[in-house]
Structure 1
Amino acid sequence: MPTGAFAWLVRGMVWMAGVGLLVLLIVSGITTPLDNGLYDLHARFWHYTPKDDVVIVAIDPKSLDAIGRFPWPRSVYAQLIDRLTADGVRGIGMDVTMSTPSDDPHNDTLVAAAIHRNGKVVLPVFAEAVNLGGPLQEALPVTAIASSVAALGQVDVAKDADERVRGAYLKAGLGSPYWPSLALALIQLARGSPITDLPGLHDPANDDASPYLWMRNNYVLLRYAGPSGTFGRVSASDVIDGNVPAALLKNRWVLIGATSEGLGDILQTPDSPMPGVEYQANVLESLERGWLVTPFDFLAQFLLAAAMLALPLLLYGLPGIGRGLWLLLASVLLVLAVCVVLLRSHYFWWPPMACLTVMMVEFAAWRLLTLRRR
C-alpha cells in the first residue's frame, strides 16, 4: 500500500467504498440468514436454569386420555382454575382460545365465575381474518368470559422468514400496538401498574398505522432457557384430580396450554421444536429477569459496522499483524468479540455479518490488485 499522506487517502477511499457496500447489505437483508445462524449457534450455548417461578400446566397426552379429546368443555377449565386458585398460584396465563361461545352457555358461565374468583387470570388476544382475504379482526374472549378476566394479552408469535422463532413482540394490536404480550400482562398484573421502560426494537411505522393492520412493537430476541422440556410441567388432569402437591404451584406463575404434538401448537426455535405455551414461559422468565435482547436498529448497526470497517485499515502494517491473513483474522476476531460482548454483557444484538462480508470483500479485492501489480 502507498505510504505517507497518499496512503491515508487510499485507505479513506477504501473505507468509503466499504461503507457504501455495507449500506446495501444491511438494507437488502442479504446477510440476515447468516446473522440468524450465528445467533442460533450462540443461543445453543447460552442456556440457563429457570428459577421455578413458572410452571406449565400441560394439555398433554395423559390429560387427553383422562379428560377426552380436544377442545375440552369449558367446565373443565373452570375446575382447573378453581384448583389452581386453591393452591395459591401467583397468576394464570391461558394460552387457550375462548373467542367463540360454547355450545352450552352454562359452561361459559362456569369458567367466567372461576376466572372471577381467582382474580389473576390473563386470557389471549390474537388477530384473524373472519373471511378468506378479508380484513383482520381481533379475536377476544366471549363477552361473558372477557368481563371476568384480570387482563388480556396478545399471543402473537414472531416467526422469521425461515419459520424459526427467535424473538417476541411485547406489544401488538389492530391499528396500534396497545395489547401487552401474555407474559407482559401477567407481570404488569403482579406489579399493579404498566411497565413503561420496555426493551426492544421499535417500529417507526406505528406512527402512521392503518386501523386494519396488525401492528407490532418492542421486538426482542429471546435467550431461551433450553430445548423443549426445560420448564417444569404438570399434567392438567393431575392438577384437576389433586395429584399435584400445592407446594409445587403456590406463589408461581402458571401457564396453561397444549404440549401434545397432535394439537398443532408447535414452534421451531433455535434449539428444538417447542410447544407454544413453553415459548410463552421463556418470554415470561426472560422478561422477569431482565434477560430480553434488544436488536440494534439500522442506524446503530451502520455506525458500529462503519467504525469496525476502519480497523483493518488502521491495523494495516503494524508489527505482529502485517498485511496478509493475520490482519484479516485479527479484524474478524475483534468484530466477533464485540458482537459477543454486547450480547452477553449488555443484552444488545449487533448482526455482524454485513461488516464481516465487507471486510472479506475488501481484503480479497486488495489481494487481487496486489497480485496483478507483481
Structure 2
Amino acid sequence: MNLRRRLLIEWALIALFGTLAVILATHWRGTSAFDNLVYDQLSSISRPKPDNKILLINIDEASLARVGKWPWNRNIHAQLIDKLASAGPRTILLDVLMSEASSAADDRALVEAMQKSGAVYLPLNFHSPGSDGKAYDTEYPLSVLDAAAKGVGHVNITFDNDGIVRRINLCFDSGERSWPHLAELIYRNGAAPSPAFAGLARCSQHLLLPYAPRDSYSEISFVDAHEGRIPDQLVKGRDIIIGATAAGMGDNYPAPFSDGGVVSGSEIMANVVAALRRDDFIASAPVWQISLFSLLPMWLLMLGFLRWQPRTALIVSLCLIATVLVAGMVALSASIWFPPGAALIGIILVYPLWGWRRLQAMSAFMQSELGELEREGEIVPLALNPDRGSDLVGRQSAALGSAIDHLRDLRRFVSDSLEHLPDPMFVTDMVGTVTMANHRIEDYLGPKLKGTALKSLLDRIVAPMHRRSVDEYLRAIEREPTGDHQPFVRFVSPDGSHFVMRSAPVVNDLDVHVGQIHYLADISALAQAESDREEALQLLSHDMRSPQSAIIALLPTVPDKDVSRRIEGHARRTIALAQDFVDVARMGESPFEGTDVLLTNLAHDVTDNFWPLAQERSVRIEVIDDSDSGFVLAEPDSLGRAIANILDNAIKFSPVGGSIQVRTRRIRDVEARMLELTICDEGPGIDPDLLPRLFTRFAARSVPDARIKSSGLGLTYVRAVAERHGGKVWVENGKKGACFHLRLPEAADPIPDPAA
C-alpha cells in the first residue's frame, strides 16, 4: 500500500474516532466538570447589575442574638409584615417554611398581617422520594397561612454535579400539579407570566441563572427592620425578600463565583427575580446544535491535515482552541450556552493522534521504500546510521539521506548522459512546458530553454508548412502514449534543415504519464542524398527512356524489317528495364493504397492481355478458380504487372503447343486466411543453383546458360509487390516445368452498414 492511500485510511479512522468521541462526550456530558469551570470563568467576566427594586431582609446572626433562638414566634413575623406593609412595598416574600401550626393567637396574628398587607408570598417544599411510590411529597404552608397568602410557589434548588447552584427551574412538576417558582409569582404579582416562563418548552427545563456580583443587592438585618430602623422610602414599591442568612440555618448554597464561598437562598431568589425582569436567563443550546458546534472545529482541523504542513496544523489547532472559547463567550453574551468541552476534546484528541499515525506511516513508508531501493539493486545498499542510540526514525532519516545522496548521483549521471547525446533533446511536462533540454538544442535555439512553452519552441524550429503534421503527431502521442501511431514525424525547419522528431512518454513509478521526451535528429545530409537519388531515378525514368522512344519512332525508316524488329525489341526491353528499376526503388516510399480486388478476375484480365503472344507461340492458358471468388486488398496496377511478369516468363519458356495453368485457391494459414495464385508452365524449369536467389537483382545474369536471360529486375519487382501487399512469392520446379506461387492475405469482410 502506498503512503498516500495509507495516510488517507488512517485519516478516515482518526476522523471517525474523533467524531464518536465528541458525540459521546456531548450526549453523556463527559466534560461537564470542565464545561462548568469554563462557564464560571466566562460568566464572571460580565455580570449583570443588581436590581435596585429588590430589598433583602436577612435573618442573620445579629437577629438571632437579639430576637432569640430559631424558630421565632410567628407574632414577630406578623409585626414585621405590618411595619413593611405600612411603607407600601410591591411584594413581600416570606422565604421561611411554615408548615406546622404554632399557637392559635400567633397564627391568627400572622394571618391578619398577611391579609392586611395583601402582598405576602409563601414557599412550599418537596421531599424526595415521596411516600407510596410517589416521586415527591409536597409540604404545604399551614392551611390558614396558605389561604391568607397572595401566592404560593416552589423554591427548590437545583445542584450541578459539582454541588454548585447554576440552574433554576421556573416550573416544578410534583406529579399532582405544576408549581411556578416563587420568583415567577413575584414577577407576575397578579399580572401576566414572564417571557421566560412563557417560552419554556417543558416544565423540567433548566435555565442558567446570571448572577449579579455577590452581596450587591440592598439588604438590612431582620432586627433592624423589626425595630423600625428602616426608612419607608427604602421599602416603598420594592420587592421585599425575607430569608435566612445565618450560617446555622442551612439556607446558604455554593454559587459560581471565582472567589468561592456561598450565597443565601434569599440572594439566589433576588437574582431569579432580577433575571425574570431582564429576561436574560441563559439557555443551553439543543444537543444537536452542541454536537454540530463541537464537531465543526475538529472536522476543520481534519480537513486541514490533508493540506497543511505540521507547523501550520499546530498553529491552527491552537487558534481553534482559542476560537472555541471566544465563540462560547460570544454565545454566552447572547444568553446561549455552548459547552466547549466536547469541541476541545475533539481538537486535543485528533491532533496528537494524527501526528502519531502520520509519523508511524512515514516511518513504515521510509522503511519499505529503502528496502525496495536496495532490492532493485540500482544503487548500492543503503547503510543505516551506526548510532544505535538514536531512535528508529532518526536511523531511518539517516538512511533516507544516504539514499537521496545516491539518487542525486544517479540524477547527475542521467543528466550528463542526456547532455552528451549526439542529437538535440528536450523534455516537456503535461502542460507543454520545457523542463529539461540538452546543449545540442540550446546551441541551435539559444540557451535557457527551460520553462519555454512547447508551442513557442515549435514555432522556432518547424516551418509553417509542416507545423500541422507535427502538432497531429504530438496530439496522437498525448492521447495514447503507448498506442499504435506513427513512430516519428519528419519536418523542415525555417532555415531549410531537415529533422526527424521522435517523442516518447515519460511515466513515473506508478505508470502515470507525467510528460514527454522529444528527440530530434538532423537528417539534412540524408535528405540531400534522397534528392540526389530522386534525380537519378528521374534520369532513368525520363532521360534514358526518351532516346529509346526516339529509336522506336525511327524504326519505320529502316528497310530491313528483321533488323527493325530486333532493334525495337531491344529498345522496348531497355524502357521496361528502366521502368522496373524506378518502380522497385519508389515502391517503399509511397503509402499503400489498396482496394478489394477479385483475384480470379485480375488473373483473367492479365491472361487476356497475353492472348496474342500465347497464340503466336501456340501456347494454351487455362485459368482455374478454386478460391470461391476470394478478394484481396491490393493495388490492381502493381499486382497485375507482377502477375504479368510471371506469365510473360511462362509463355516465353513454354514449348510450342504447351499449356500454362493459372490457378487461384484459398489457403487456411495458421495466422490468417490467405489466397494463393499459382502459375505453372511445361518448360525446362529453373536451374537448381538459381532457385534460392531467383528474386534478387541481376540473379539471372550471373548464371551462364540460365533459362531466363534478362536483367533480373522483373522478378525482383514481383517480390517487392508481394511484400508490399503483406504476402510472399516463391518458385519450385514441378514434373514438367516451373511453378510460381504468389500468396496474399485475403481481404477482411466488409462491416455491414447499419442504415442498410
Q: TM bucket by the smaller chain?
A: 0.7 to 0.9
Amino acid at match of 1:349: W
Query: Any conservation in 2 of the 1:88–1:249 contact (CA below 8 Å)?
Result: yes
The answer to which of 116-125 and 46-55 deviates more is 46-55
The reply to whether residue 275 of structure 1 matches residue 261 of structure 2 is no
1:193 CA displacement: 2.1
How far did residue 201 of structure 1 move? 7.4
1:269 positional shift: 0.8
CA distance in 2, matches of 1:168, 1:107: 34
> Which residue of 2 is the match for residue 206 of structure 1?
none
Structure 2 counterpart of 1:62, which letter?
A: A
Deviations 1:92-151 (A, max 9, x none): 12210011111x022111111211222222110121269899753111111101011111
For residues 32 and 130 of structure 1, the distance between their equivalents in structure 2, rounded to whole angstroms, comes to 26
- 1:234–1:199 distance in 2 versus 1, CA, 3 Å: same
| Rounded Cα–Cα distance in structure 2 between residues aligned with 1:259 and 1:182 | 18
Q: Deviations over 1:6-34 (max 9, x none)?
A: 99887666444322211211222221111
**Structure-1 separation of matches of 2:211 and 2:176:** 28
SS class of match (2:237): coil
Contact 1:198 1:218 in 2 (8 A): no
Identify if the C-alpha distance between structure 1 residues 3 and 179 changes in structure 2 by more than 3 Å, giving closer, same or farther: farther
224, 230, 237: which one aligns with 2:216:
230
- Of residues 223, 229, 236, the one that matches 1:250 is 236
Give the equivalent residue in structure 2 for 1:164.
164
Query: Residue in 2 aligned with 1:218?
Result: 205
Take 1:29 and 1:46, find their aligned partners in 2: how far apart are those partners? 26
Partner Cα separation in structure 2 for residue 19 and residue 201 of structure 1 = 31
Is residue 259 of structure 1 aligned with residue 248 of structure 2? no
- Provide the residue aligned with 2:126 in structure 1: 127
State which structure, 1 or 2, has the greater radius of gyration over its C-alpha atoms. Answer: 2
CA contact (8 A) 1:201 1:295 kept: no
CA distance in 1, matches of 2:266, 2:75: 21
Q: How do 1:189-204 and structure 2 match up within 5 A?
A: 189=189, 192-195=191-194, 197-198=196-197
1:364 and 2:328 equivalent? no
Secondary structure at the aligned position of 1:370 is classed as: helix
CA contact (8 A) 1:90 1:120 kept: yes
Indicate conservation of the 8 Å contact 1:78/1:110, yes or no. Answer: yes
**Identity percentage over the alignment?**
27
Partner of 1:352: 340
Letter of the structure 2 residue corresponding to residue 234 of structure 1: I
Matching of residues 97-108 of structure 1 within 5 Å: 97-102=97-102, 104-108=103-107
State yes or no: 1:22 paired with 2:9: no
RMSD: 2.8
3-state DSSP of counterpart to 2:148: coil
Give the match for residue 277 of structure 2: 288
Do the aligned partners of 1:46 and 1:223 also contact (CA within 8 Å) in 2? Answer: no
Q: Distance in 1 between matches of 2:338 and 2:299?
A: 17
1:359 deviates by 1.3
Residues 201, 297 of structure 1: alpha-carbon distance in 2 compared, 3 angstrom cutoff: farther
Residue identity matched to 2:338: W
Contact 1:221 1:292 in 2 (8 A): yes
Q: How far apart, CA to CA, are the structure 1 residues paired with 2:289 and 2:58?
A: 41
Give the one of 225, 228, 237 matched to 1:239. Answer: 225
- Counterpart of 2:108 in structure 1: which amino acid? T
1:230 is paired with a residue whose SS is coil
Tell me how far apart the structure 2 counterparts of residues 244 and 318 of structure 1 sit (CA, whole Å).
71
Following TM superposition, by how much is the alpha carbon of 1:300 offset from its aligned partner in structure 2, in angstroms? 2.3
- Rounded to whole Å, the distance in 2 between the matches of 1:307 and 1:199 is 32
Is the 8 Å Cα contact of residues 200 and 293 (structure 1) preserved in structure 2?
no
Q: Within 2, Cα distance between the matches of 1:340 and 1:295?
A: 13
Aligned twin of 2:145: 145
- Tell me the distance in 2 between the aligned counterparts of 1:339 and 1:105: 56
How far apart, CA to CA, are the structure 2 residues paired with 1:165 and 1:43? 14
| CA displacement, residues 309-331 of structure 1 (integer Å, 9 cap, x when unaligned) | 32223445778995432021111
Gaps of 5+ in 2: 364-756
Residue among 313, 319, 322 paired with 1:324: 313
Which is bigger in relative contact order (C-alpha 8 A, separation at least 6)? 1
Deviation at 1:169, TM superposition (A): 0.9
Say if 1:18 and 1:177 are closer, same or farther in 2 by CA, change over 3 A. farther
Amino acid in structure 2 at the alignment position of 1:81: I
Superposed counterparts of 1:26-45, under 5 Å = 26-45=26-45
TM-score (norm. length: structure 2): 0.44
Aligned to 1:83: 83
Q: AA paired with 1:240?
A: H
